[in-house]
Structure 1
Amino acid sequence: MSSKRFATEEVSAQIFDGNSDVEEEISESEDLSETENNAIDEEDEEDSEDQSVRQVAFSASLVNTSYSVVGPSATDITLIFKFVVTNIGNAYNSTTGVFTAPVRGAYNFEWTVGANGGTSGAVLVKNSANVFLAYEQVAGFMSSSKAVALFLEVGDVVFVRVFVNSVVFDNLNHHTTFSGHLLFPM
């Protein structure tokens, strides 16, 4: 910027030899350029703040050690995915098993449930409404998966529940998982 300014002043001094009107215009132009640069810097700061809100993704499995079986139960049980691999934006709570939308937008969620025989099912819940059920019934080991795109408002919650009379299994191989990410803000 300073070499450009110096070159501009040198040329204007040679051509106009002290013409004060032209020098004023050059000075105003330089002031305008500095103002525009400041505005661009402020926009960059705002964009980086917006970018941090737009970066939302998590992925977790039911257990991080050992072995776990949840169910069967006469009521739905909220699964708490303790082994968190990714939690960008900290929107997933590994104490409650609940994802809370930090920004209004479209989100994608995937969940997989594993079981070692019997019936396995888990329903994805938005606020208090069941959305989709991942369900499987076989004699040996099996798993079932689903995915969904949801529109969420700020503060909406999403979580996974073991379906009534179903069993969910997990171990160090992470058969039962819950993941989600922001597709785009709206």
Structure 2
Amino acid sequence: MKISVSFTLLLLLGSVPASEGVECQRAFPEDIYAALRETTASLVQLKADVTLQTTEQAAQLKTEVDKLKQQQQEQAAQQKTEVDKLKQQQLVRQVAFSASLLVAGEATIGPFPTATPLIFKHVVTNIGNAYNSNSGVFTAPVRGAYYFEWTVGALGDNSYPSAAVLVKNSENVFMAFEQQAAGFMSSSKGVTLLLEVGDVVFVRLHGVAFDDYNHHTTFSGFLLFPM
């Protein structure tokens, strides 16, 4: 029985041509090489894809980090601006001044041919630096309600009054007026004004004004509240 099977296998093997056997033997290595080349190419492409993706992700991450840094810088700058603005607002809420005509000595000012601004040189208080002692002009640093008071003293001679007008920009507001034949005389007025930023207020003399170490002729003002 074993001899018959072996003989049959030999006959079958003998019937396959030699060239077909060689081709079958060669087909397997060539397929393996092709598969290896394809796998290698796939690995190279995968590596390139991974490298590109990593580079793109790194660039995107850097862009996001730079954007966050920029936002933080803008927020910090905005916060600083707001803090500075609040500080400035707090400062301009503190406005008050008082001044008299002469620093020392005594003198009668006027009369002048035309109404002349008085310059109050002896500054007692100037919180907020809104009053200018070189020009006698108060400049509003913030929009709000302000209160002003001015007093004019003089020695009466029945010729000229102690008269002075408070001026807002170019508008006469109120006049303080007193006239008598002899002796010391004085007049005072007060007023509340709504001022815009940059509005100016000063006192204009229309008669005579006297001042000495007692500081009879004065000009004062302060911010009641901002608006």
Residues of 2 paired with 1:46 and 1:158: CA distance? 25
Which ranges in structure 2 are unaligned for 5 or more consecutive residues? 1-78
Q: How does 1:1-186 map to 2 (within 5 A)?
A: 47-118=86-157, 119-138=161-180, 139-163=182-206, 166-186=207-227
Larger radius of gyration: 2
After the TM superposition, which segments of 4 or more aligned residues of structure 1 sit over 6 Å from their partners?
Answer: 41-45
Identity %: 69
- Could you tell me which residue of structure 2 aligns to residue 22 of structure 1? none
Residues of 1 paired with 2:84 and 2:132: CA distance? 28
Report the alpha carbon displacement of residue 148 of structure 1 after superposing the two structures with TM.
0.2
TM-score by length of 1: 0.73
The structure in which a higher percent of residues are helix is 2
Report the alpha carbon displacement of residue 50 of structure 1 after superposing the two structures with TM.
1.8
Which ranges in structure 1 are unaligned for 5 or more consecutive residues? 1-40
Distance 1:45-1:100 versus aligned 2 partners, 3 A rule: closer
TM-score by length of 2: 0.61
Residues of 2 paired with 1:140 and 1:101: CA distance? 37
SS in 2 for 1:134: strand
The structure in which a higher percent of residues are strand is 1
Report the alpha carbon displacement of residue 49 of structure 1 after superposing the two structures with TM.
3.4
Residues of 2 paired with 1:69 and 1:130: CA distance? 23
Residues of 1 paired with 2:107 and 2:167: CA distance? 22
Report the alpha carbon displacement of residue 74 of structure 1 after superposing the two structures with TM.
2.3
Please list the CA deviations of residues 114-134 of structure 1 after superposition, one character each: whole Å capped at 9, or x if unmatched: 001141100000000100000
Aligned residues: 145
Report the alpha carbon displacement of residue 48 of structure 1 after superposing the two structures with TM.
3.9
Residues of 2 paired with 1:73 and 1:44: CA distance? 49
47-56 or 68-77, which moves further after superposition? 47-56
